[in-house]
Structure 1
Amino acid sequence: MAEACTALVVDDEEMSRAIAAGYLARIGYRTLEADSKARAWDILAAQGDSITVVLLDRRLTDGDGLELHERMKAVPELADIPVIVQTISDSSADIAAAIRAGVFYYMVKPYGGALLRSVVRAAAEAAERLKSLRGDLRSRNDAITLLQEARFRFRTPQEARDLAIALSSMVEAAPNLIFGLSELLVNAVEHGNLGIGFEAKERLKANGMLGREIEMRLDSIHHRDKYATLHVERCDGRIAFTVTDMGQGFDFDRYMTVDAFQSTATHGRGIALARSVSFDRLSYLGPGNRVVGIVEVERTAAMAD
């Protein structure tokens, strides 16, 4: 039997901790509980390697929950544990502050069990995917840092991920580039060429049918000849990644900023996150079937130093 996943629930209200623990028990999670940042840190220090996700209240009796998250980020063994911030505030400014701090999931109380379980699954899956991508990235040849200009054509989500892995090592000082680049490339296939909308993807993931639907569309007469392209160019201290698909475009403005809508969705926040943590600039062109992500190499390297 596989070992149960573990969630650390940090909330100064005992009832809130108990409710969250009950919700998560339904998907096989065991929970550890803390009523303060100090107690949560003691648990993380002792058991961090076994914790799958942290559910963190923003307002605690001993301060802002984001301070615990920032402390986690400074410790390599804890930095990649996904954190879901929960709060009674649906302020866009508060949500944006959490995203800038590197929190990818933000839930407004009160919420239902189905939503919490879905967000926890999404957070854990994203963390595992990023861990896998980074592991593959470390195994690739550093010769890619010599690349000046190149154009690639790809059709499938796996080809998109392979490209992201190969090219993310162009900027060693930008470890989050792989997340944003993978997001843009996979979106070009799934949402652009194959026409799987964000809401449809959410339903398919919930039913465990996303992979089958992607394969079916890739083989269909309507989509089998479609491809996306990635143009990479290094010039004047920056690298531009231009991704173009053969789709009809989409309402990209809806997904460019983090707002209350995205805080309660379990999918569709990747574009805003890519813009926040992976690229210095991100711009969609035309109807939305072309996107340019810019990394300022010299500035990124200076910040890393």
Structure 2
Amino acid sequence: MSVKKPSILLVDDESYNLMILEECFQEHDYDLTTAEDGQQAWALLQANPHDFDVVLLDWMMPQMDGLEVLKRIKAHTDLQHIYVIMQTARAGKGEVRQGMDAGAYYYLTKPYKEEDIQSIVETAVHDSQHRQAVQRIVEQNVSTFGLVKKGMFEYKTLAECQALSILLANTYPDSEKIATGLSELMINALEHGNLGIGYDEKTQLKKQGAWLSEINRRSALPEYSAKTVSVSYQKDAAAIRLTIEDEGAGFDWQNFLTLNPERAKDNHGRGILTALNSFDKLEYLGTGNKLIVQVQL
């Protein structure tokens, strides 16, 4: 069976800009579709709601501007999962905040370097593919673990982390909603907590395409290989509560409960926000190496 190429919708009212974007991604294995204004983009999205993984969207356009397209995407049940990268010359903090509040996953201010947009699109494509893969597995096993009431788990590696997050997501009534956010939190505990990969370091690893290999390399080193992330699961008639605790020193978690406009152009840093949309309650304890998430039943 052939693997579907990542599909990207490029939206800009300047044909020259569209040509530059197509050239920028010509060496990547993407299916590229172009739209010359917001109305054309919205028509394509409505007609093909499951076709696109990422939308690279200009803000200032005639007929329908990018912000209106973004708002419609996020209000549409079949489209709201799409990762939208807003690109614009509007660089003020208030405008960046407006775009992020409307649901933009990334925010690029013009002019930008080719390597920056390539890195951000690559990250958005990876995140989209990961979300789809997790949800496919969850859908296949959605009734398997419905009888689980209580459990204690540990993981050390990324493979163990991903397998456990899928198992646990299957115990929730709305497993698809939970899957991606839970996966993000559990990966954070491993990479930032136990393996000590900081925010700036991850930015560079993502740009270099070396994030996954570095995770696996560190997991095998003596100073990290014995560290575990523990997960406690408790289900009763009222709620499902999950506690995740790593062996790291913690982090400044308060800064990641909202999206700072200064991080809007970074190629990662949205995992906790994703989780906030998945759970009814998310609470970090102490220095941030322990958190509790809860879903009401």
Measured against the shorter chain, the TM-score band is 0.7 to 0.9
- Determine the C-alpha separation between the residues in 2 that align with 1:242 and 1:191: 17
Instruction: Tell me what 1:300 maps to.
Output: none
Instruction: Tell me what 2:150 maps to.
Output: 149
Instruction: Tell me what 2:167 maps to.
Output: 166
Instruction: Tell me what 1:191 maps to.
Output: 192
In structure 2, the gaps of 5 or more residues are none
CA RMSD across the alignment: 2.9
Residues 1:14 and 1:75: Cα distance change in structure 2 (over 3 Å)? same
Give the letter for the 2:163 counterpart.
D
1:15-164 aligned within 5 A: 15-27=16-28, 29=30, 31-44=32-45, 51-69=52-70, 71-72=72-73, 74=76, 76=78, 78=79, 80-90=81-91, 102-140=103-141, 142-164=143-165
TM-score by length of 2: 0.85
Instruction: Tell me what 1:288 maps to.
Output: 288
Instruction: Tell me what 2:271 maps to.
Output: 270
- Determine the C-alpha separation between the residues in 1 that align with 2:201 and 2:190: 14
Contact 1:150 1:233 (C-alpha < 8 Å) held by counterparts: yes
Say which SS state the counterpart of residue 145 (structure 2) adopts: helix
Instruction: Tell me what 1:246 maps to.
Output: 247
Residues 1:151 and 1:64: Cα distance change in structure 2 (over 3 Å)? farther
Alpha-carbon shift at residue 133 of structure 1 (Å)? 0.4
Give the letter for the 1:154 counterpart.
Y
Say which SS state the counterpart of residue 274 (structure 1) adopts: helix
Higher alpha-carbon deviation: 167-176 or 245-254? 167-176
Say which SS state the counterpart of residue 144 (structure 1) adopts: coil
Higher alpha-carbon deviation: 280-289 or 231-240? 231-240
Q: Deviations over 1:2-55 (max 9, x none)?
A: 987543222234444344333333545564322322211333456666544211
Residues 1:200 and 1:45: Cα distance change in structure 2 (over 3 Å)? same
Alpha-carbon shift at residue 75 of structure 1 (Å)? 6.0
Give the letter for the 2:56 counterpart.
L
Structure holding more helix per residue:
1
In structure 1, the gaps of 5 or more residues are 298-305
Residues 1:108 and 1:282: Cα distance change in structure 2 (over 3 Å)? farther
Q: Deviations over 1:139-194 (max 9, x none)?
A: 22514233232221111111111111111133333633111110111111111111
Say which SS state the counterpart of residue 223 (structure 1) adopts: helix
Q: Does 2:9 correspond to 1:8? A: yes
- Determine the C-alpha separation between the residues in 2 that align with 1:4 and 1:158: 24
Higher alpha-carbon deviation: 193-202 or 8-17? 8-17
TM-score by length of 1: 0.83
- Determine the C-alpha separation between the residues in 1 that align with 2:77 and 2:15: 28
Alpha-carbon shift at residue 264 of structure 1 (Å)? 0.8
1:201-240 aligned within 5 A: 201-235=202-236, 237-240=238-241
Q: Deviations over 1:182-219 (max 9, x none)?
A: 01111111111111222222323333433333233222
Alpha-carbon shift at residue 99 of structure 1 (Å)? 5.0
Give the letter for the 2:253 counterpart.
F
- Determine the C-alpha separation between the residues in 1 that align with 2:5 and 2:143: 37
Aligned residues: 295
- Determine the C-alpha separation between the residues in 2 that align with 1:190 and 1:156: 9
Alpha-carbon shift at residue 91 of structure 1 (Å)? 5.8
Instruction: Tell me what 2:259 maps to.
Output: 258
